[in-house]
Amino acid sequence: MALALFGCGGGSDDASTSGTTTQSSSGSAPGSAQTGTGAGAGDVKRVMGTDTNASAAILSKMGRTGRVQIGLGSGQSIADMQAQGIRPDIVDVYLVGVGSGAWTSWNSPTGAYVTYQAKNAISYGATPMFTLYQMAQRGDSNLSGISDASFMNDYWSQVRTMYDRINELDTAVLVNLEPDFWPYVYAQAPNHDMTQMPAVLNNQPECSWMANTAANIGSCLVSMARWHAPKALIGFPPAFWNATPDVFAKQMQLVGADRADFIVAQTSDRDAGCLEAAAVGECMGRSGPFYLDENNVNTPNFHQQQNSYSAYRDALGNGLPILWWQTPLGVPSDTPGGTPGHYRDNHVDYMLRNTWEYGGMHTFAIVFGGGGTYSTNINTDGGQFARLFGQYLTSGGVAAM
């Protein structure tokens, strides 16, 4: 049984974050589009010339060319991609649930869902990617499970199964580890210190020397990956809801995020128009504005979003490359809002026209897909993604620095 399930992971405020103000040249890369390169608030931080092998190294492990990879996920089926002739570089699939009814039971034998989905992606010419979203079993912000031995034993057993199934594939697979979970831990930990929040993990042989703290959940995820699936490439997704990028990076060092293989930049979990309309539950309760200024003058804008993750990367250390994830598929419009499946957003338009900006800040991949039931998708975007991705490929792509 193949299920097209996805969760609602993704930063609620990342699109409008303004935590960094680094200024620099706004000139274009040779031969690149000029859109959105004007100076102004949040002018993009250029990092050309440093850590130039960050993306090349991970792309080599993936067996991919040296250009920025473009992926699809969050419920976009391969059948839908085939219908439009879209052949993404990466296909992302969620793994959700703990215990009864969890992803491990969706196919037989246990955990074969990973095998099934990965082989489908590989046969379509894509690198498989899995977003592990198990910690949301009791609710996004409900952290009661991490100190519950029964819950965590099931949790760790499923993580081990995931890595074992990945190892059997004997190829590179990307894994995005627990979106949203880390900022919730930061928010609820005593003194915002994840090492002070209890969690159950050192009863697992791969993590037996670690203290039972929430911070070490991340370290245990890293240890299990290296133990069971050496070809797995893992990344942690920060979010800046309640801390600046540099402050949150210091906590994520305690988690072990600097010992992962890449950084997951949570682009936005909803189309801007859905948040503007606030007509369905998944898009209610947030304060705007939400639509990013493609001229990078007004707040929020794309350069501010880029700068936030550059600041996080610098503070985290180790020069890890960046994968932008859960990037909305909405279509640009001067009219706010929209309707289910047809909400406005301009991430696809901007990021596929100005991919050189992302390549220059050590981005190795951008994965597109909505984070909600009513998000715009490739079947409702009027062919926007297929057209712009086709143009990107025809141009030869953008080098990943």
pLDDT 10s digits, 114-156: 999 999 999 999 999 999 999 999 999 999 999 999 999 999 9
Let me know if residue 6 belongs to a domain.
no
pTM: 0.89
What H or E segment, with its residue span, contains residue 82? helix 78-84
9 vs 198, residue with greater confidence? 198
Instruction: Supply the range of the domain harboring residue 217.
Output: 14-394
For residue 3, tell me if it sits in a domain: no
Q: Which residues contact 297 (CB under 8 A, 6 or more apart)?
A: 38, 40, 41
Q: What is the pLDDT of residues 255-285, one digit of tens each?
A: 999 999 999 999 999 999 999 999 999 999 9
Assign residue 125 the CATH number of its domain.
Answer: 3.20.20.80
Closest CA to 332 of 279, 368, 294: 294
Question: If pLDDT is split at 50, 70 and 90, which confidence band does 175 have?
Answer: very high
Q: Residue 58 and residue 172: Cα distance in Å, rounded?
A: 10
The answer to the question of residue 375 being in a domain is yes
**What average pLDDT does range 24-44 have in this prediction?**
33
Res. 52 pLDDT band, cuts 50 70 90: low
Contact 101, 137 (CB under 8 A): no
| Contact between residue 44 and residue 296 where contact means Cβ atoms under 8 Å apart | yes
Task: Report the distance separating Cα 167 and Cα 170, nearest Å.
Answer: 5
The structure tokens listed for 56 are 């090349």
Residue 401 in any domain: the answer is: no
pLDDT tops 70 at residue 44: no
In a domain, 174, yes or no: yes
1 in any annotated domain: no
3 state DSSP class of 377: coil
Average pLDDT over all residues of the chain: 89
Q: Could you tell me if 357 and 28 are in contact, meaning their C-beta atoms sit under 8 angstroms apart?
A: no
**What is the Cα–Cα distance from 64 to 54, expressed in whole angstroms?**
14
Give pLDDT tens digits for 331-385: 999 999 999 999 999 999 999 999 999 999 999 999 999 999 999 999 999 999 9
Q: State phi, psi for 147 to the nearest 5 degrees.
A: -105, 10
Helices and strands (H, E) in the chain, number of each type: 12, 10
pLDDT at 41: 39
Q: How far apart are CA 359 and CA 347, in angstroms?
A: 15
Tell me the pLDDT tens digit for each residue of 54-83: 899 999 999 998 999 999 998 789 999 999
Contact 156, 228 (CB under 8 A): no
Whether 288 is covered by a domain: the verdict is yes
Model pLDDT, residue 9: 55
* Three-class DSSP category at 210: coil
Q: Please tell me the total count of domains within the chain.
A: 1
Between helix 149-169 and helix 112-123 the angle, nearest 10°, is 30
Q: How far is CA 73 from the centre of its chain?
A: 10
pLDDT at 26: 30
